[in-house]
Structures are given as structure tokens and as C-alpha cells.
Amino acid sequence: MKLNDNFNNLKQSYLFVEIRKRVEAFTAANPNVEVIRLGIGDITRPLVPTVVEALSKASAEMGTPSGFKGYGYESDGYPFLREAIAGYYSASGAKISAGEIFVNDGAKSGLGNILNILGHSRVLIPDPVYPAYEDTNIMAGNELIYVDATEADGFLPAPPSEAVDVIYICSPNNPTGAVYSKTQLKAWVDYANANDALILFDSAYTEFIGDPSLPKSIFEIDGARTCALEFGTFSKMAGFTGVRCGWVIIPSELERNGVNVLNLWDRHQGSMFNGVSYIIQRGAEAALSARGLAENRANIAYYMENAKTITEALDKAGIKYTGGKNSPYVWLKCGRPSWDYFDYLLNEKNIVGTPGAGFGKNGEGWFRLTAFGTHELTKKAAERIAG
């Protein structure tokens, strides 16, 4: 028998292993130095009370004969959550019906599994990029085409001239923090429609957008319903990285070669998935309630205060960057190779961040800091950077 030999084409990722190694070596040599970690890509504030209450209530419900839920809504999610997500979208102006929403265990699974319903594809991804886009397509044997994201375009590349089948867009972007405007996204939608391509839009960070002119969903753009899927998640907007819940939106009219994409995905999920825990779906519903949103937005504001602390320090130090305004990521120009800056920050300033070179060739010379720390430590780090 044969295993999937596309896995042979994967590059080994040394990024986080190498970071850990260097930090461990430093702390071993300098046991009394306080190292501040601004490399973390995970939220740190606990679940909000409204969500905890809903999780506890649903847990108790599952222990009663009348409240117990077994299998149910395997491929798509409970109506109460699909409707809550549709309501969340309608508040920001995108019209999505509950029937177009498929609840899943997070954007990473959704973005990975969606490849199962595609044929062999030419796939466009930006460089620098979140590594999972790259790896899942290599595993699937797809052809990868890179589009350069650089300082010149504010790390917001425009569509290329050549045709592709699939396009990944993450806005606000990980790792660069850059956010597409409506006009810029419209160019991608037009390109996708003209080329019969599909956009896979990763909206993981849209709750960090403060500027009301910036799009929070690809479905705020005219024409997106005939070319786009959107992958959302409660991970960053509600602190669900360890709770696991997300969604995929597939417009009901989206089709390719006469095949309805929503129906294809429904069939896929029916055979490959048994749904998200009822308990977790109740927690997710609570996260979208008025009280849940308010509590979670207070956490987002807390993180964005950190982002402001960092960007003000960078401004003061005359360091260029993208992100940090409508994104928890600050992507700074370090003026030297990323790993040299990593060593400098670690050894001289005792701050840990993420070398941009780990996200692709265009990340070389750049560096990612995140807003997910505490106010106290982030302020200290900012003072050290500006000082």
C-alpha cells in the first residue's frame, strides 16, 4: 500500500522550535532576567462570564433526560447558532442566511478540509503567509503560486495577471496585520469572478477592526456571492482557541461547472463530520449575544490598548510597521535580517517576538509582535523598544 507521498514535499518548520531553543538558551544563561514574550499568537484573557454561564448551563442540561442531546445537525450546526451567526453578520451589513452557515470546530479545520471538495487546483497564496495554507495544499498535491506581499504595497498585494483556481485572503492579515480596503477586496472579487476562481476568505481577526470603513467580511463586497467562501472563528473574537468553534459560509448560489458548492460541502460534512459539541455551540451562541459581544469587545479593547502601546513606541523610535491599528499583530521593519533582530531584541531588550522570515521570503527583514500580552508587560516591552 502507498501513503500520501505529497507529504514528502512539506518543508519542516523550524520557526517555533528555533525560537524556543534560543529563548531557553538565553534564560538558562540569564536566570534573573525578566523576558517579555510578545511572540504569542494566542489570546490570554479568560472566557467571559456570559460564555462560561452558557457552557455550564448546557453541561448540566446534558445530564438530564429532557435536556440531553445526542446526534443532531451533524453537517451544519444547531439552528440557534447558525441564526446567531447570521445575525452577527447582518449587524455589520453582510446578508448571510442561516442556511449558508456551517458550524465547525475552527477556521483551521475548515480551511484544511475544504480542499477535499476541490479538484486538483492552482492555488494562490501571499508571501508572507500563515503556514497552514501552504502545508494543507502541499498535502493535497495542489500547485502553489505565490503573490508577493511587500512594503511597496503595504503587504496588501493586488491580483496577479495569471489565472488561478483558488485564492487565500486573510484580512486583517496574520502575520502582517495589514487590512484590505473595500476597493482592494473588490479587485480580488472581480479577478475571481473573471477567472472562475474561488476566494477562501479567512476572517479570524475581523473583530479587531476599529475603522468602520474597512470590510469585516468578504460578503460586504459586491460580487462575492459568486466567488467566495468565508472562514470565521470564535477563537480570537471570544477567546475560543481552547474551546474550538468556527464556521464556514458558502453562498447558496455559488457553483462551479453546474455543481452547487454548498450542497457539495453539506455532503462532505455529512460523511466526514459529526458536528460540534452541543455544549460548545451554546457557548458560541452566548458569545454572540448582546452581553457576550460587549464582554468580548472589552477584551478586544484590552488587546488593542496593547497594540497602541506598541505602535506608539515604534513611532517614537522611528520604526516602520504595518498592523497594530485594526489588528492584534504589529509587523515591523527591523532593518536587518529577522533572526538578527530576534537575537538583538532577546539579548539587549529581553523581548521575544517572531522573525518574519519564518512566514516566507518576503518576511525577511520584518518581525511580528502581538498584542496578546498584559498591559503591564507590554508597556515595559514598549519602553525597552523605544528606549
Residues 107 to 126: which contact a copy of itself by CB under 8 A? Answer: 108-109, 112-113, 116-121
Residue from 197, 209, 150 nearest 362 by CA: 150
Here's the x/- map for a copy of itself, 51-90, by CB under 8 A: it reads as xx--xx--xx-xxxx-xxxxxx------------------
| Whether 114 contacts 272, CB under 8 Å | no
Of 92, 97, 181, 241, which lies in the binding site for a copy of itself, with binding defined by CB under 8 A? 241
Residue 262 touching a copy of itself (CB under 8 A): no
- Among the candidate windows 44-52, 92-100, 200-208, 307-315, which touches a copy of itself by CB under 8 A? 44-52
Count CB-CB contacts under 10 A for residue 93. 11
> CA 36, CA 32: separation in Å to the nearest integer?
13
Taking CB under 8 A as the criterion, which residues in 269-298 touch a copy of itself?
A: 271-280, 283
Binding residue for a copy of itself (CB under 8 A) from 15, 23, 98, 139? Answer: 139
User: Which residue, 281 or 326, has its beta carbon nearer to a copy of itself?
Assistant: 281
How is residue 38 annotated by DSSP? -
Residues from 169 through 208 that contact a copy of itself (CB under 8 A) = 196-198
Q: How far is the CB of 30 from a copy of itself (least distance, A)?
A: 26
Number of other CB atoms surrounding residue 193 within 10 Å:
16
Figure out which of the listed residues 39, 89, 101, 105 binds a copy of itself, where binding follows CB under 8 A. Answer: 105
Number of Cβ within 10 Å of residue 1's Cβ equals 2
CA-to-CA separations, 274 to 102, 268, 280, 324, in angstroms, rounded: 12, 11, 14, 38
Q: Which amino acid is at 327?
A: S
Binding residue count for a copy of itself, defined by CB under 8 A? 78
- In b/e form, how buried is each residue of 120-142, taking b as 16+ CB within 10 angstroms? ebbbbbbbbbbbebbbbbbebeb
Distances, alpha carbon 223 to alpha carbons 22, 197, 206, 248, 289, in Å: 47, 12, 20, 18, 30
Among 2, 11, 348, 387, binds a copy of itself (CB under 8 A): 2
In the bound complex, what is the minimum distance in angstroms from residue 315's beta carbon to a copy of itself?
30
Is 51 in contact with 242 (CB distance < 8 Å)?
Answer: no
- Of 121 and 206, CB closest to a copy of itself: 121
Cross-strand bridge partners of residue 378: none
Return the number of the residue (120 or 361) whose C-beta is nearest a copy of itself.
120
Q: Which of 15, 18, 44, 364 binds a copy of itself (CB under 8 A)?
A: 44
**DSSP for 286-342, written as a single string:** HHTSHHHHHHHHHHHHHHHHHHHHHHHHHHHHT--EEESSSSSEEEEE-SS-HHHHH
Residues in 347-386 at the binding interface with a copy of itself, rule: CB under 8 A: none
- Beta strands 101-104 and 354-355, pairing class: unpaired
Query: Smallest distance, Å, CB 209 to a copy of itself?
Result: 22
Q: Rounded to the nearest whole angstrom, what is the least distance from the CB of residue 281 to a copy of itself in the complex?
A: 9
Rounded least distance, CB 118 to a copy of itself, Å: 6
Check if the beta carbon of residue 226 is closer than 8 Å to that of residue 243. Answer: no
Question: C-beta of 305: minimal distance to a copy of itself in Å?
Answer: 17
Is position 166 an interface residue for a copy of itself (rule: CB under 8 A)? yes
- Piece of the chain touching a copy of itself by CB under 8 A; list 2-10, 179-187, 210-218, 363-371: 2-10
